[in-house]
Structure 1
Amino acid sequence: MTVERIKLEKEKETLLITFYSKVLETQKKNPILVDEEAVKLMQRIEYDYSLLKVPKKTQITVCIRAKLMDDYVSEFLLKHPQGTVINMGCGLDTRFFRVDNGAVKWFDLDFPEVMELKSKFFPETDRYRHISSSVTDWTWLEQIQIEGKVMVVAEGLLMYVQENEVKILFEKLQHKLPGSQFVFDVFSSMTVNKINRHPSIKKTGANLYWGIDDAKEIERWGDNFAFIEERYFAESKDVSKLSFGYRMGFKVAGLFPVANKAHRIVLYQL
């Protein structure tokens, strides 16, 4: 078995935070998320994960977020079994393997150096394709030919993008994929300022730029941007799997709108 030693820069290295969190969660007796492909992958990557300094709360949040996003994709595929999913800023995420229904057409998209690494572990197939590009290098949209229903997913991504580029992304997606669904996680503006001081983020040298307090604000960016709903971490059924202290923490947080909106999942129709 070939072992890869990896070195990534700034925001690209944050993919290891989410990847490692899912591995740790899968190894629990009653996990929020089961990601066997991530566990296998860890055995093939040489990296000192202790350098990431991932707090337990971050690990929990990452896995609740991933499970909520998995649920959105699974719900989409129940309605549209032969639909297409575009997973932007995918990193080492293995969502395709967690939700694959045997018919979905899938695109994983990330920086060329990230996709070069990922291709060593997860080769392309007829239904699973790679796109090597920055999300904001809009030429990637010209590489895809899609028919039918589409869901675009951006997990742990848009907070690293400037607001003006997020607006352009909405416009480009709507032009290329009208009627598609767009699901992503978002911070409040206050959380963006706080997270920039987070030890795991500081270690990577990455910067967060964009947060939004009112999800309906995006509807004012364009005539056909429709906010559908937002889901809060405290409402996740998987909170019941946590220790008493964390369950109480989520329960109390769920009582306060500012806490709910600090980090949540939002869904739009384009």
Structure 2
Amino acid sequence: MQHQPNLQGVPETLLIPLWARAVEAKRGKPILKDAKAIEIMERIEYDFTKFDKAWKSQTGVVIRTEILNKAAATFIARHPDAVVVNIGCGLDTRFAQVDNGKIRWYDLDLPESIRIRRQFFCETERYKMIAKSVFDYSWIQEIAAEAQPVLIIAEGTLMYFTEQEIKSLINKLTDVFPKAEMLLEIITPGIVKMSKQHDTVGKMDNVRFQWGVTSGKELEQYNNRIKVINEWNLFDYHQDRWGWMAWMAKIPAVKRRFSDSVVHLVFG
């Protein structure tokens, strides 16, 4: 049965990482294996051919997914009874990738995104879906985290909102989840300015990047209780897949201006 997503604006972007992971899963030596992504993509009625030449985004998505999966798994190994909040989950399969049989996991996204997600995933006692905007803070009341360690993940999401919205969100999270850790993706202002030329986002209507920072350290200025404990630049991984971009990234000024990274924060 085919599903018509009928997505517009930012929600449509959930199809980009789905496509990227499905394409990767079909490779001979994939960076990550995600058979579920193939299954979902084949059941969604959408013109994915518009991304046929978007190898840069495809490479970046699978590398950031690998980094986030490993970082989440490391956190869960340290905290087997953790609570994880996955902001802007889209159609990702991360819970299945890192589940240890004990954690509680919440996938949070806009109602239209969760509507589609429910066609492919089922809730359980430990896995829940929340159909709300991350800026509708009533979602926080649905998170059951009494004394458990909390990990918050935001992949491919925050760059679509304004700096003020991101500051407000991060300050809210630090207040509500003291001592929590957060994994989030950041892009540089140079990439933000090139939204219209982007190989995937540029092919969508009413979608553009709005927020970028040169380094994860800038996030420490948002709240004095935030500390950056790690940052992974996507160009540092699987350089054989980056083609000519791997050479460009060896130029420090270029790497600083046009980078995509995963940042690991801890809230004090």
- Tell me the equivalent position of 2:109: 110
Where do 5+ consecutive residues of structure 2 fail to align? none
The alpha-carbon distance between structure 1 residues 74 and 102, as it changes in their structure 2 partners (threshold 3 A), is same
- Tell me the equivalent position of 1:175: 175
1:84 aligns with 2:83: yes
Distance 1:48 1:214 in 2: 35
Structural mapping, 1:29-48, within 5 Å:
29-48=28-47
Q: Secondary structure at the match of 1:4?
A: coil
Q: Secondary structure at the match of 1:3?
A: coil
Shift of 1:33: 1.3
- Tell me the equivalent position of 2:2: 3
- Tell me the equivalent position of 2:221: 220
- Tell me the equivalent position of 2:62: 63
Q: Secondary structure at the match of 1:87?
A: strand
Q: Secondary structure at the match of 1:191?
A: helix
Cα offsets for 1:198-247 (capped at 9, x unmatched) = 242132220211001132222122221111121111222x445x3xxx35
Amino acid at match of 1:160: Y
Shift of 1:248: 6.3
Distance 1:81 1:99 in 2: 11
| More displaced stretch, 246-255 vs 105-114 | 246-255
| 8 Å Cα contact 2:195/2:208 also seen in 1 | no
Shift of 1:8: 0.3
1:162 aligns with 2:159: no
Cα offsets for 1:106-156 (capped at 9, x unmatched) = 110100011011011101011110010111112211221213111100001
Q: Secondary structure at the match of 2:194?
A: helix
- Tell me the equivalent position of 2:255: 259
The alpha-carbon distance between structure 1 residues 67 and 257, as it changes in their structure 2 partners (threshold 3 A), is farther
What is the number of equivalent residue pairs in this alignment? 264
Q: Secondary structure at the match of 1:151?
A: strand
- Tell me the equivalent position of 1:185: 185
| 8 Å Cα contact 1:150/1:181 also seen in 2 | yes
Cα offsets for 1:156-184 (capped at 9, x unmatched) = 11100111111111111111111111111
| 8 Å Cα contact 2:186/2:261 also seen in 1 | yes
| 8 Å Cα contact 2:248/2:255 also seen in 1 | no
Shift of 1:68: 0.7
The alpha-carbon distance between structure 1 residues 252 and 167, as it changes in their structure 2 partners (threshold 3 A), is same
Structural mapping, 1:221-240, within 5 Å:
221-236=222-237, 238-240=238-240
Distance 1:251 1:80 in 2: 39
| 8 Å Cα contact 2:105/2:128 also seen in 1 | yes
Q: Secondary structure at the match of 2:193?
A: helix
| 8 Å Cα contact 1:226/1:268 also seen in 2 | yes
| More displaced stretch, 49-58 vs 66-75 | 49-58
Backbone CA RMSD of aligned residues: 1.8
Q: Secondary structure at the match of 1:5?
A: coil
The alpha-carbon distance between structure 1 residues 136 and 77, as it changes in their structure 2 partners (threshold 3 A), is same
Distance 1:143 1:170 in 2: 18
Structural mapping, 1:18-33, within 5 Å:
18-33=17-32
Amino acid at match of 2:155: E
Shift of 1:197: 2.5
1:269 aligns with 2:246: no
The alpha-carbon distance between structure 1 residues 222 and 37, as it changes in their structure 2 partners (threshold 3 A), is same
| 8 Å Cα contact 2:248/2:254 also seen in 1 | no
| 8 Å Cα contact 1:187/1:212 also seen in 2 | yes
Distance 1:125 1:170 in 2: 28
Q: Secondary structure at the match of 1:14?
A: helix
Amino acid at match of 1:137: D
- Tell me the equivalent position of 2:200: 200
Amino acid at match of 1:62: V
Distance 1:145 1:81 in 2: 16
Where do 5+ consecutive residues of structure 1 fail to align? none
The alpha-carbon distance between structure 1 residues 75 and 247, as it changes in their structure 2 partners (threshold 3 A), is farther
Distance 2:60 2:18 in 1: 13
